[in-house]
Amino acid sequence: MFGKISLVTALSLSVAALPIEQARAQDGLVGGIIGGIIGGAIANGQRKSQPRTQRVVRSSGVSTAQREQNRSVQTALNHFGWNVGTADGVLGRRSREGASQYQVFAGFAATGQLTDFERNILVTAHQRAIMGGPQVAQTVSSHPQGMRGLILVVRDELSGRSPARSAGNYGLPAPVATAVDEIAASSDPNAEQLVQRAGFIQLADMNGDGRTDYILDTSVTGSAFWCSAQACTVQAFLSTPDGYVRNDFQAFNVTPAMFTCTRGTCEMGTSDAPVAVAAPTVPAQPASPTTEVALSVPSAQPAARNPAPQSAEAAPAIPNFFGGGQGARSLASHCNKVNLLTNANGGFTTLQTMNDRAIVIAEQFCLARTYAMADGEALIAKVQGATPDQIAAQCAGFAPSLQPHVSALSVKPREEVMSDVGGFILSTGMNPEQLGATARICLAVGYKQDDMVLAIGSGLLLVAMGERAYGELMGHHLTEGFGASKRDDLSLAWYEHGLDPAKTAVFAPMQPERDDLLRAAVFDEGVDSGTDKATATLPVFSLQ
């Protein structure tokens, strides 16, 4: 500042020393210089005294890429039935609950926070489902979990557990083993289980060349992919000098004696009836030179054999045209078809889009079945000292004792059925907590194995112990006719009990609007329709 004042003083003195005329002539110039200097000094002073404003930009903590990744996870969860609401890219409470349900289903720890591997499985499965194609359609139609089966398929592939083509395994020729893999890919049992199933593989010299020929009978798979309502695919492999030649047929319950074969060509005769009523007067058919590579496991529908009579003096009985086989429809196959229809329609039916009550009931029945299986599988993972196969065997062991109560479901009112089941529960001597866990596990096993006696019986136990929500399942079974007679009149009381607002929700608990949808479908008339007691010991599973 001192320097600036001295400069002004010096200029003033120099101006005073000039002649008056010259000074006047330069007044404007000097005034401009002085004004500029003073103005600059004032401006500099103002800039120094004026506070500086600093802009601070705070980050939201979630990048655009992360938000987009979260949105893709939410979209995938919604697609597979774990409703998390709007896909906004923010993983809140509902998103974490949906992620936990997905983790339980896929066999991961239910943390609610997806690892990169778990996220990759979910998003990849969703992308496949959206793209579609014949392989996706085949997986959805044949997998017991329907659309969600894509998740398990992708999980196994990314884990290195994808079933490889195992030609030459199982002690079979390569073409036969390849066919086994092909059939197993569209069936519930895997290839190893399938070759052990009674009646699936039959061996005989069918063309008389002295070498073994093979028959693969898909009727024992219970798969709707290989069976129609009238027949199932049968593959005959005949040995020739150039290798095995495959012949395909549509039939039930085949035996080598039904075929006439020359070299690599076979024709199937019609003289042997696939199903015959057992009677003491019917002579036994001569034994054919056939060896079955299998364990003693009952055939699944549509294969049907009648048991031989115990003795000629046995008392007359009601004929059983399905014998030891399962004449009933497959709920697993039904739900596969329902899942395909749901996917084709763009998702589950809502109150706003409902125009056919039958579609709504079918969708919600299969959804409840999926939740029941996921719940049971989560409990099975907590059982110590027993494998899933051992647990399933124990559940199957007490299923016969539930048969009378399952049969009563089709003929007795709900109150009478519950009274009888309550007496059965008291006779077991188990505490309610143990029996409740056992029933939930065996309910899942029953649905997974398509054992309606076990599934319905376990559900009845849960309802009788106060788990009202499971009454909905009984209503579905009576409405749809799986494991019970179709009795709409009896189903209403079970629906009313299961849809009671006071119940604790166990099926799709994050979708409170589900009960209103079911009530509208079940009760709204304006909507279009579209043996002796077996003694057994109840298994006890200790949960850790």
pLDDT at 544: 56
> pTM of this prediction?
0.45
Which residue do the tokens 């000097």 mark?
Answer: 30
pLDDT at 33: 45
Q: Each residue of 220-277: pLDDT tens digit?
A: 877 777 777 677 889 999 988 888 899 988 887 788 888 889 888 888 875 443 333 3
Q: Please state, in angstroms and as integers, the Cα–Cα distance from residue 11 to each residue in 8, 352, 386, 455, following that order.
A: 5, 91, 107, 110
> Is residue 514 within 8 Å of 364, Cβ to Cβ?
yes
Q: Please state, in angstroms and as integers, the Cα–Cα distance from residue 522 to each residue in 115, 433, 483, 501, following that order.
A: 41, 32, 20, 15
Q: 88: number of CA atoms within 13 Å, CB side? A: 9
Low-confidence ranges of the chain (pLDDT < 50): 1-2, 4, 11, 13, 15-26, 29-38, 41-43, 162-168, 271-315, 321, 323-326, 529-535
Q: Each residue of 120-152: pLDDT tens digit?
A: 999 999 998 888 776 777 677 656 677 888 898
pLDDT at 108: 87
> Is residue 204 within 8 Å of 182, Cβ to Cβ?
no
Q: Please state, in angstroms and as integers, the Cα–Cα distance from residue 176 to each residue in 166, 216, 238, 240, following that order.
A: 10, 8, 10, 14
Q: Each residue of 429-471: pLDDT tens digit?
A: 777 788 888 899 999 999 988 889 999 999 999 998 888 889 9
pLDDT at 313: 47
Rounded Cα–Cα distance for residues 372 and 440 (Å): 7
Give the sign of the dihedral formed by CA 507, CA 508, CA 511, CA 514. negative
pLDDT at 160: 73
